[in-house]
Amino acid sequence: MVLNGKTAVITGCLQGIGRSTLDVFAKNGANVFACCQHETEEFTAHIVKLATDHHVEITPVYFDLMNDESIKQAARDIQKAKKPVDILVNIAGMTRDSLFSMITMDQMKSVFQVNFFSQVLFSQYIVKLMLKNEKGSVINISSISALDGNPGQLVYAASKSAIIAATKTMSAELAPKGIRVNAVAPGVIDTAMTAVVPQEAMDRLLMKSDIKRKGLPDEVANAILYLASDLSSFVTGQTIRVDGGMG
């Protein structure tokens, strides 16, 4: 259990990559502040079972990434727990797919609020807890769209590119203080976000992949696990592609 005894804060835990990362971290001994936009009966039952099965503590934290005050309050709730935080994983995100000529200012603002501004704001609060112990690992979730581009995803790709730039800058500032900062750029992953992509478009995407299939959320979660653990103690400022060989 490579995270035994560590405490992690993970956003986007309700589904997809976030849910898989929560599960993988719990299986590897981490206590987790599991952050979501809202509570569901299914999620509550899931974290209770997960905590019992793996003898860890999982504390739900609900807040809205569109609301700066809600983000601040969530950070306060985590701080009040008075537990050292070792890991932060920023997974929660959104997309508003539209061609360049059709994207609206409101769409651009909402995507950047969730995918970039809220991530930086939340990280500012949580990293303060890491600085007290001069150690920690921050993992941001970008996308291969940020690296390769993708028609119809101008604002999503741009917001995820901003995450990569922030990752490099945060690493340069925080590594001397014992905090590593890296990013993961998933490819086409089998989640609710890709489920709405028309089959013809999906087939074209998968043809670009060496492995020729969608990735699984667990496969991304395992890369996040590596970056969160001491196995990657000399890795910082990097963006790791988990994309089945696309490009």
* Dist. CA 185–CA 237, nearest whole Å: 13
Which residue is catalytic, options 62, 125, 156, 226?
156
Distance between CA atoms of residues 53 and 200, nearest Å? 41
Q: Residues 30-44, buried b or exposed e (16+ Cβ, 10 A)?
A: bbbbbbbbeeeeebe
Residue type, 116: F
Q: How far apart are CA 56 and CA 163, in angstroms?
A: 30
Which pair of tokens denotes residue 51?
């905590």
Q: Which two tokens stand for residue 201?
A: 């478009």
How far apart CA 53 and CA 18 sit, in angstroms, is 19
Contact yes or no for 214/188 (Cβ under 8 A): yes
Cα separation, 61 vs 70, whole angstroms: 11
The verdict on whether 156 is a catalytic residue reads: yes
Residue 14 CB neighbour total at 10 angstroms:
22
Rounded Cα distance between 195 and 230, Å, is 34
Nearest residue to 138 via CA among 149, 147, 127: 127
What DSSP string runs through 217-242?
Answer: HHHHHHHHHHHHSGGGTT--S-EEEE
Catalytic residues: 156
